[in-house]
Chains A and B, each alone.
Chain A
């Protein structure tokens, strides 16, 4: 599968994230491990891409490199038309403040800050005044129907609430790329679903997301499921026209 994996015209807009011929080698010599072998992947606005694969297939490495937390051995990572593979530490940090949001499996929130303050954090770090950042954060929380959590501390929230607040933080300000690493891993099925529903709705509203998971049930929320094996993409599902299934048009298929 050497052809570009996302040729389908999901959107007329340019991709938010482009991974080009990405490789990552850990260690060297005898202990050399090829975590990624030539990954190509584009993620468009409004698209949620799930990455699946057995442990050690390189899912998490892909995510950390996409977010600039790790650097590829070769290949390019382009976020919002900026090549971040050659960016320095400061630029990367600024990029994480402005373009990329992370959601991890658990303990996503800083225990010392309230939900609103957690959401406001990237903005405040970026130098936005505390009041303005808080306003944006509360607005973001309200938009996701989490407004009532604004002044709660993380230890006063359930796991699902924490994850949803983390998603709000990942998309606060101008950020429109969410990188979620097993965001439902520590949650029960129903709660996990609500978190994914939120992620789904944010993507429907225009954000781009990558979801790393090993649960097919959660991967099924994505528009596209990419299967990784031994650091390479082996297959991917395309977005089907299921929307039209019930409208009868598909009968002609």
Chain B
């Protein structure tokens, strides 16, 4: 299931951001609620994040080992089925608190394939940059539509007051983060388009050769005689 969603997700800025997501702190946050074992942590993590961020069990245990090494978690016995349980330590709690209090670092923006693509497309021969932008926008908005539909479902679930309310809210927040991220990209695309059109027009005026960017549309259809506008 997570995999299938992942396949649907376009490779855009937020997928890059996933990589920088701190699994460490996510696991610590789950352990706040009480001791857990490894695969339990994995499924809770995925249900909280709506399977947007897939984890494998190995990743979970590697991370748990590192946390134990840093003194943030400690083994605390086994449950009935013999799973080794991990619990958060005081050090872990203070680390978690400071993580929540520290804003996400934006000083080193993640590299983005799209930005690089557009930058390369400018001036590349035989490439219609507006078509590139539009196809990206199509993709982006389509994705937003999907997120929005999921969000609408989540909203309906919350309003119906299901048992997993907390999880639903968390899922909603993740979805909205995705939506806003996507929107930012769509806006950025709009901006790029306008900027590039203006630059192209200016260049065309300077050289006097390049035609202004032709609208990517068919000519006005039927040449029906103009009808006098009727006042209402």
A touches B in complex, CB < 8 A: yes
Instruction: List chain A positions with a Cβ less than 8 A from chain B.
Output: 1-2, 21, 23, 25, 28, 34, 37-38, 52, 54, 68-75, 89, 92, 197, 200, 215-217, 219-223, 225, 227, 229-235, 237, 239-240, 242-243, 245-246, 248, 250-251, 253
Return the CB mask of B202-232 against A: 1 if under 8 Å, else 0: 0000000000000111111110111101101
Provide 26 A-B residue pairs closer than 8 Å at the C-beta atoms, listed in order of the A residue: A23-B224, A37-B217, A37-B219, A37-B220, A37-B221, A38-B222, A73-B227, A74-B227, A92-B232, A215-B183, A216-B141, A220-B183, A221-B152, A225-B141, A225-B142, A227-B138, A230-B215, A232-B215, A232-B217, A233-B217, A240-B142, A240-B145, A242-B8, A242-B145, A246-B5, A250-B8
Tell me the chain B residues, 134-189 only, with Cβ under 8 Å from chain A: 134, 137-138, 140-142, 144-150, 152, 155, 179-180, 182-183, 186-187
> Bound state CA distance, A223 and B194, in angstroms?
26
Query: Is residue B19 contacting chain A, with contact meaning CB distance below 8 A?
Result: no
Q: Which residue of B lies closest to A92 (CB)?
A: B232
> Bound state CA distance, A250 and B221, in angstroms?
39
Query: Is residue B95 contacting chain A, with contact meaning CB distance below 8 A?
Result: no
Tell me the interface secondary structure of chain A in the complex. Answer: mixed
Say whether, besides A219-B141, A242-B149, A234 and B227 are in contact (CB < 8 Å): no
Give the one of B5, B190, B193, B226 with max A CB within 10 A.
B226
Number of B residues near A (Cβ < 8 Å) is 45
Which B residues touch A74, using CB under 8 A?
Answer: 222, 224-227
Which B residues touch A34, using CB under 8 A?
Answer: 220
Query: Is residue B3 contacting chain A, with contact meaning CB distance below 8 A?
Result: yes
Q: Cβ of A197 and Cβ of B141 under 8 Å apart? A: no
Say whether, besides A54-B190, A248-B4, A251-B4, A197 and B152 are in contact (CB < 8 Å): yes
Q: Cβ of A72 and Cβ of B227 under 8 Å apart? A: yes
Say whether, besides A21-B222, A37-B221, A54-B194, A220 and B229 are in contact (CB < 8 Å): no
Q: Cβ of A69 and Cβ of B1 under 8 Å apart? A: no
Q: How far is the CB of A210 from chain B (nearest CB, A)?
A: 16
Say whether, besides A69-B232, A220-B179, A245-B4, A197 and B155 are in contact (CB < 8 Å): yes
Q: Cβ of B227 and Cβ of A220 under 8 Å apart? A: no
Q: Cβ of B216 and Cβ of A245 under 8 Å apart? A: no
> Bound state CA distance, A92 and B146, in angstroms?
37
Q: Cβ of B147 and Cβ of A89 under 8 Å apart? A: no
Which B residues touch A251, using CB under 8 A?
Answer: 1, 3-4
Q: How far is the CB of A89 from chain B (nearest CB, A)?
A: 6
Q: Cβ of A237 and Cβ of B220 under 8 Å apart? A: no
Q: Cβ of A245 and Cβ of B217 under 8 Å apart? A: no
Which B residues touch A68, using CB under 8 A?
Answer: 232
